[in-house]
Amino acid sequence: MALSRERVLHAAVALADVIGIEALSMRKLAQELGVVPMALYKHVANRDELVDGMVDTVVARIDAPEHGTDWKPAVRQRVLSARRTMLRHPWVSRAIETRQAPTPAVLGYLDSVIGMFRAGGFSADLTHHVMHAMGSRVLGFTQELFTAQEGPADPAAAAAAARELAAAFPYVAEMALAAAHEDASIVGSGCDDQFEFEFALEVLLDGFERLHERGWTSLSPRGSRPAR
Amino acid sequence: MALSRERVLHAAVALADVIGIEALSMRKLAQELGVVPMALYKHVANRDELVDGMVDTVVARIDAPEHGTDWKPAVRQRVLSARRTMLRHPWVSRAIETRQAPTPAVLGYLDSVIGMFRAGGFSADLTHHVMHAMGSRVLGFTQELFTAQEGPADPAAAAAAARELAAAFPYVAEMALAAAHEDASIVGSGCDDQFEFEFALEVLLDGFERLHERGWTSLSPRGSRPAR
DNA sequence: AGGATAGGTGTACGGCGTACACCAGGTCAA
DNA sequence: TTGACCTGGTGTACGCCGTACACCTATCCT
């Protein structure tokens, strides 16, 4: 089958799903497609442009927005479906963070979310700040500061490591313990990522709702914070 | 002067400040230090470990926490001083995002922030979710989805680009316009990053305060969201 | 028929991280 | 004093990377 930009991008997405975005090289992708590395350059300008295309391919798969609902459930639904897509392709969040210019599909997605706030009666001003506050969460991901560390398999060694952690960072240890209690498993990562994501999302949406109800506006002079 | 881990790390931080973290290579760093590349490996295990050390070097420079204040101003002060440090070294946020395991200094920093919430009466449970909700913001940065794009210098071309943007992404264009109006300059990036950061921070802190006042707790069954 | 065009190929260059063998100088026990 | 050992800087080399550039071939349009 002949090569095409489509085929290159889809193969790249599939390969990145398996080996990750950093490990994906033009050479490996070419091999996957049974073609010489330089052949790819007839369809993508260079590696950066390839990654842009991969991002767009994935973002285009996010479920379409629902119409005719309130802004809050509408935004929630859209963000959570973005999240579902991102979870299927864990490399995308990193790729988006690394880009400097948003790709067209990302821009289109953002446009639709902005439109939801506007339709809900948010001022352009408030919407602007709200979008910044959502940050990457609007696209369904947060950068994980705490990627679940695989502890040592040996239980004795694990216990020793836990004791050491508790001594050096008591609060971190306590929090880890609280998380472990909360879900029944004694070891395990102890963090339900989906729960944490939705928790933060609701805190933000509730906060936005309150500001909107109060008719919040960014006053001059600059530097005024919300609701103080 | 003899090489040392200290000297290597400080040179690396300084070099990354100038050329960025991706462009920093073992070879360039060695050249900067007037030494052959392999000499560095007597002081750091490999490039990854070098970056870890660089992160720790910078994080260690974050201002010490204030004691004896309320949790809210205490957290605010700490996060904003972290932000000040991060702004001086723009590559650090990317570096932290890329790491999979938090470095000791980062862990120590997180420990101190967790301690502030706990001292403010937050349950370990709520604190846990709160820390997740803060995400990387607790370390003073957000990934910028909208890194200010340099428009074309030619005003006519810029206007054409703006018209094209408005046609394809009307809400994005409107928001950009609102931002531009808000600060007096007609062109310009139109986003006051510091304002946006503090806006999001206050929305989150206010949300946490409300949950805390209400004695919020993550109920079983899992999946309950806050405050609904 | 013949030139343009699109798309796959082969070779080559400069940069990267780092394994490995080496070697100079200092430290210290015998 | 001597010789073993360690610490830290050196030189060479390997395999990977992105991609510039010249090339070849099939197809299509006039």
Residue B141: its H or E element: none
Give yes or no for residue B225 having a pLDDT over 80: no
pLDDT of residue B177: 80
pLDDT, residue A191, reads 77
pLDDT band, residue B80 (cuts 50/70/90): very high
Answer for B47: CB within 7 Å of strand C: yes
Q: Which residue has the higher pLDDT, B115 or B184?
A: B115
d(CA A182, CA A85): 27
What tokens appear for B94 in the block?
A: 């990317």
Distance of CA A71 to the CA centre of its chain: 21
Hey, are the CB atoms on B129 and A199 less than 8 Å from each other? Answer: yes
| Three-class SS of chain A | CCCCHHHHHHHHHHHHHHHCCCCCCHHHHHHHCCCCHHHHHHCCCCHHHHHHHHHHHHHCCCCCCCCCCCHHHHHHHHHHHHHHHHHHCCHHHHHHHHCCCCCHHHHHHHHHHHHHHHHCCCCHHHHHHHHHHHHHHHHCCCCCCCCCCCCCCCHHHHHHHHHHHHHHCHHHHHHHHHHHHHCCCCCCCCCCHHHHHHHHHHHHHHHHHHHHHCCCCCCCCCCCCCCC
Which residues neighbour A174 within 8 Å (Cβ) at sequence distance 6 or greater?
A166, B114, B118, B124
Which tokens go with A131? 């979008």
| CA pair distance B120, B222, nearest whole angstrom | 26
For residue A71, the model assigns a pLDDT of 98
Residue A82, judged by CB atoms within 10 A of its CB (0-12, 13-18, 19+), counts as buried
Lowest mean pLDDT among A214-218, B19-23, B155-159: B155-159
**B223: pLDDT strictly greater than 70:** no
User: Are B26 and B54 contacting, i.e. CB atoms less than 8 angstroms apart?
Assistant: no
Whether B172 and chain A come into contact, CB under 8 Å, resolves to yes
pLDDT value of position A35: 97
Report the share of chain B in percent with pLDDT over 90.
71
pLDDT tens by residue, B113-144: 999 999 999 999 999 999 999 999 999 998 76
Question: Using CA atoms, how far apart are residues B163 and B149, in angstroms rounded to an integer?
Answer: 16
Contact present, A105 and A55 (Cβ < 8 Å)? yes
Alpha-carbon distance A189 to A174, whole Å? 14
Tell me the DSSP string of B13-80: HHHHHHH-TTT--HHHHHHHTTS-GGGGGGTSSSHHHHHHHHHHHHHTTSPPPPSSS-HHHHHHHHHH
- Give the nearest partner residue to B114 out of A102, A110, A175, using CB atoms: A175
pLDDT-derived band of residue B149, with 50, 70 and 90 as boundaries?
A: low
Host H or E run for residue B204: helix B193-213
Q: Which of B55, B139, B172, B211 to mutate to test the interface with A (most CBs of A within 10 A)?
A: B172
Q: What is the pLDDT of residue B176?
A: 81
The values of phi and psi at residue A145, to 5°, are -75, -20
- Chain A residues close to B47, C-beta within 8 Å: none
CB A93 within 8 A of CB B143: no
A208 touches chain B (CB under 8 A): yes
- The pLDDT of residue A190 is 63
B195 vs A98, A123, A223: nearest CB? A223
Three-state SS for B109? helix
Q: Which residues on chain A are in Cβ contact (under 8 Å) with B146? A: 102, 132
User: What are the pLDDT digits (tens) for A130-144?
Assistant: 999 999 999 999 876
Asked whether the predicted pLDDT for residue B179 surpasses 80, the reply is no
Give the pLDDT of chain A (228 residues) as one tens digit per residue.
689 999 999 999 999 999 999 999 999 999 999 999 999 999 999 999 999 999 999 999 999 998 889 999 999 999 999 999 999 999 999 999 888 889 999 999 999 999 999 999 999 999 999 999 999 999 999 876 655 565 666 778 888 888 988 999 999 999 888 777 665 444 445 678 899 999 999 999 999 999 999 999 986 434 445 544
Determine whether the interchain pair A102/B146 forms a contact, defined as Cβ–Cβ distance below 8 Å. Answer: yes
The pLDDT of residue B222: 40
Give the model's pLDDT for residue B187: 46
CA atoms A17, A18, A22, A27: torsion sign: negative
Average predicted confidence (pLDDT) for chain B = 89
What pLDDT, on the 0 to 100 scale, is given for residue B125?
92
Q: Which residues touch strand D (CB under 7 A)?
A: A 24-28, 37-38, 41, 46-48; B 2-3, 35-39, 42-43
pLDDT of residue A155: 77
Cα–Cα dist B218/B133, whole Å: 14
Residue B156: predicted pLDDT: 84
Distance CA A204, CA A210 (A): 10
CA distance A210 to A216: 9
Cβ atoms B203, A208 nearer than 8 A: yes
pLDDT, tens digit, 9 for 90 and up, residues B46-62: 999 999 999 999 999 99
pTM > 0.75: yes
Q: Which of A183, A29, A194, A141 is nearest to B145 (CA)?
A: A141
Interface test with A, best of B138, B144, B205, B206 (most A CBs within 10 A): B206
Rounded distance in angstroms from the CA atom of residue B100 to the C1' atom of nucleotide D10: 33
Q: What is the Cα–Cα distance from A12 to A53, expressed in whole angstroms? A: 9
User: Residue A102 is nearest to which of B145, B178, B192, comparing CB atoms?
Assistant: B145
| Residue B166, SS3 per DSSP | helix
Residue B179 at interface with chain A, using a CB cutoff of 8 Å? yes
- Rounded Cα distance between B91 and A114, Å, is 29
pLDDT of residue B136: 92
Measured in angstroms, what separates residue B111's CA from nucleotide C17's C1'? 34
B46 touches chain A (CB under 8 A): no
Contact A199 B132 (CB under 8 A): yes
Cβ of B26: how many Cβ atoms within 10 Å?
17
Among B189, B187, B207, CA closest to B199: B207
Q: Contact A135/B195, CB-based, under 8 Å?
A: no
B37 CB closer than 7 A to any strand C atom: yes
Determine the pLDDT at residue A186.
43
Question: How high is the pLDDT of residue B105?
Answer: 96
Residue B183: closest C-alpha in chain A: A222
Q: What is the pLDDT of residue A37?
A: 98
pLDDT for A168: 94
